[in-house]
Structure 1
Amino acid sequence: MARRRITRSALSALAVLLATTTATAAVPGRAGAPPPRTVSAWLPYWDQEAAYRNALAHAEQIRTISPFWYETKSATRVTGLPGAGERRIVDGLHAKGIQVVPTVMEQLRPGALAAVLTSPGRRAEHIEALLAVVRSRAYDGLDLDYETIAPTPNAKYRAVRAGYATFVTDLCARLHALDKQCFVTVTPRTRTTGRVWDYRTLGAVADRMRIMAYNLHHAEGGPGPIATPQWYDEILATATAQVPPAKLEMGLPAYGWDWVVGSKDRAHHVTWKDAEALRRKVKAPYTLDPASRTPHFTYEEGRIRHTVWYQDARGTAAHLPALRTYGVRNTVLWALNFEDPDVWRQLADGQ
């Protein structure tokens, strides 16, 4: 093909330029496009005020805040979570030059989301419901975090993947017609995971594709690191082959899990702040795992042994070289006010 006569580096540079132009389009009511930023972050509604103050304190580094504010209940019903749409927060973030792109999540029963995505009529209804959300405030767009799509059964995953790609394509077109941003949040694609996501299509139509690069070891599984540099390498090799690096945001964890050793019970979620406070309380030594570059410790509560794996600024610094290798500069933090405060310096130095 004639395309191959162009050097790979030239193609990469062109892709980055085009994606950057799309992703920083001017927003109505704002003084031009936002300046380049190093970090975006999700703002949890259950810690809203503290997380908002945290965002203001680091406004010079933040490009976009996505308040975790909305939940899809059905094709036609999208409801607000506690504190959703608080104008003081929207206005305060805008005053600092930060885009506000709220997240819409869902926890639908098995099969319910697939039924919406594979029906043209119900997809259209759902797009109208989402547009009503974006019109309800001075938002700069929407971020879709639809995760029940991921465990779609074998017999249906191709139809669901195609339906979701069509849905996002149509939604992004409608959002762009309103001069709004269109973000999509996905789980990692590796050799064994993430097949339901059509990265190429999603990356072509969305302004940002956010990869949740965490939960390598999760609450329902056995203990271990939340992420590793080797895993990041696998994730980014796949993602950057299909999506321009400037459109990608790599999701970084600021949390961990506390497992009961030998138990099949769900692990307990801990923020970095929780984990460090617990480590000091139980007088466990600080240990950075040499393979995963993530901190961990063990302790006993009565006769019950626990192991905790989490992420901090030292671990984040060790993971950033994988992003640089693939030309990915954009990060998104899960979540505001969970994090080691020093992570902000590492993100500023490490981009």
Structure 2
Amino acid sequence: MDNKWYYDEAPGALPDLRTHAKDITTLIPFWYGVKSDGTLADMSSQEVKNIAFQNNLPIYAIIHNYSDPKKSQLIHDLLSSTSLRHVLINSIRDTALYNNYPGINIDFEFVPPENRNNLNSFMQELYSTLKNEGKTVTISLPAELKDNPYHPFSGAFQYSVIGQYTDQAYILAYDEHFSQPGPIASIDFVKNVLNYAVTVIPSYKIWLGTAVYGYDWTEGVNFPRTLSYQQAIELARNLGATILYDEAAQESTFTYTIDNTKHIVWFEDKRSFASKIPLLHQFNLSGVAVWRLGQEDPGIWDIIGTRGQVSCHTQ
């Protein structure tokens, strides 16, 4: 199974990489933040580069807009200026060439919907520039159920156009629920996202973006805290909570009460991960792109198997 893993500097990520570098097809590290002048803030790790090199593990470096607290305004300013777009594209090209990255990943979030045409132009120009250098262009796309130019989070991403100017599209089919409790990515939600995606992007270009974390919602609080698989398991164990596997959602959940306040937890594990794997064949997709190393149920590696192989033991 072609398995691409996002990488961020966070607890557990580096030892996880050391252990599983030989099993990963491509590493997608969260390394380069765009700056207001179109240059890039370099947050790369030489240690991670060394591990990747030693394991013949390709790196597709992420270009993101999280280097500035005003990430929405930042990306708007960059995309809406022809000259700044040109500077940014040259910065990305130079970074890929200097570091000998075989590919890059565009991961722009909170892009204002009014930047749709500018984002399309950026991807077209970037694709042309990087293909001339023999580089692979990939993009992380927010989940969509239909084309909605006015959606505040995903409206800027026109699948049908962007799909023409990328080699690989990682459809982030998760965060189904965030402002209120619910599954991270129920199986029906993922199917619905893919049902739309394959109608506007060639299926061979699509990788299923998969989460391996959990959320803990506190009653009365709008946003949850993120849990790794291990944190979710330990939380349930320490509080004596019973973990239930929701058969409809194909995901694990539990509740607990502390200080008279109810909490609801949903999280991904080996079983929920395995439930999504048949969708790769069903929709003729190329593989999975997983957010992120260090958060996963260790049993997921039994499903993935060694690089290029798929384990038959998915339960």
TM-score normalised according to structure 2 size = 0.88
Structure 2 residue aligned with 1:125, among 60, 77, 87? 87
Shift of 1:61: 3.3
Please name the residue that 2:101 is paired with.
Answer: 139
1:100 aligns with one of 36, 40, 59:
59
Q: Partner of 1:3 in structure 2?
A: none
Counterparts of 2:22 and 2:225 in 1: how far apart (Å)? 33
**SS of alignment partner, residue 57 of structure 1:** helix
SS where residue 102 of structure 1 aligns?
A: strand
**Superposition deviation, residue 57 in structure 1:** 2.8
Secondary structure at 2:245 match in 1: coil
Q: Is the 8 A contact 2:65 2:74 kept in 1?
A: no
Structure-2 residue corresponding to 1:199: 159
1:89 and 1:112 map into 2 onto residues whose CA distance is 28
Match of 1:20 in 2: none
Task: Please say if residues 6 and 29 of structure 2, whose CA atoms lie closer than 8 Å, have aligned partners that are also in contact.
Answer: yes
Cα shift at 1:167: 0.6
Alignment partner of 1:272 is 2:236: no
1:114, CA displacement in angstroms?
Answer: 2.4
Q: In structure 1, what is the equivalent of residue 294 of structure 2?
A: 337
**Which residue type is aligned with residue 57 of structure 1?**
T
Residues 51 and 337, structure 1, Cα contact 8 Å, conserved in 2: yes
CA–CA distance in 2 between the matches of 1:251 and 1:299? Answer: 29
Q: Separation in 1 of the partners of 2:98 and 2:110?
A: 26
Is 2:180–2:223's contact at 8 Å kept on the other side of the alignment?
no
Shifted more, 194-203 versus 277-286: the winner is 194-203
Q: Which residue of 1 aligns with 2:137?
A: 182
Cα-to-partner distance string for 1:205-229 (whole Å, 9 max, x where unaligned): 21211111110011xx110000011
Residue of structure 2 in register with 1:163 after alignment: 118
* Unaligned 5+ runs, structure 1: 1-36
Which stretch shifts more, 166-175 or 315-324? 315-324
Is the 8 Å Cα contact of residues 106 and 147 (structure 1) preserved in structure 2? yes
Matched with 2:177 is: 217
**Offset of residue 75 of structure 1:** 4.0
Match of 2:203 among 236, 242, 245: 245
1:60 Cα offset (Å)? 4.2
Query: 1:256 corresponds to which residue?
Result: 214
The match for 2:269 among 287, 312, 319 is 312
One-letter amino acid of the structure 2 residue matched with residue 51 of structure 1: A
Match of 1:173 among 128, 137, 142: 128
Deviation by residue 1:112-153 (Cα, 9 ceiling, x = unmatched) = 32232232222112112222322342322211110121x53x
Matched, 1:64 2:26: yes
Letter in 2 for 1:54: D
1:302-346: CA deviations, max 9, x gaps?
222111111101111122223321111410111001000111222
Count of residues in correspondence between the two structures: 300
Mapped contact 1:256–1:271 kept (Cα < 8 A): yes
- CA deviation vs aligned residue, 1:54-110 (integer Å, no higher than 9, x gap): 2343344311101111211324232123xx141x32132133221111112113534
Q: CA shift at 1:349, angstroms?
A: 3.4
Mapped partners of 2:79, 2:30: distance in 1: 22
Which residue of structure 2 aligns with residue 38 of structure 1? 2
Matched, 1:227 2:227: no
SS of match in other structure, 1:308: strand
Q: Which amino acid aligns with 1:236?
A: L
Match of 2:280 among 318, 323, 328: 323
Asked if 2 retains the 8 angstrom alpha-carbon contact of 1:75 and 1:123, the reply is no
1:89 pairs with 2:44 = no
Closer, same or farther in 2 for the Cα pair 1:329/1:128, shift >3 Å?
A: closer
Q: CA RMSD in A?
A: 2.0
Q: Tell me which residue corresponds to 1:6.
A: none
What 5-or-longer segments of structure 2 have no aligned partner? 305-309
Alpha carbons 1:161, 1:198 under 8 Å: kept: yes
Letter in 1 for 2:136: Q
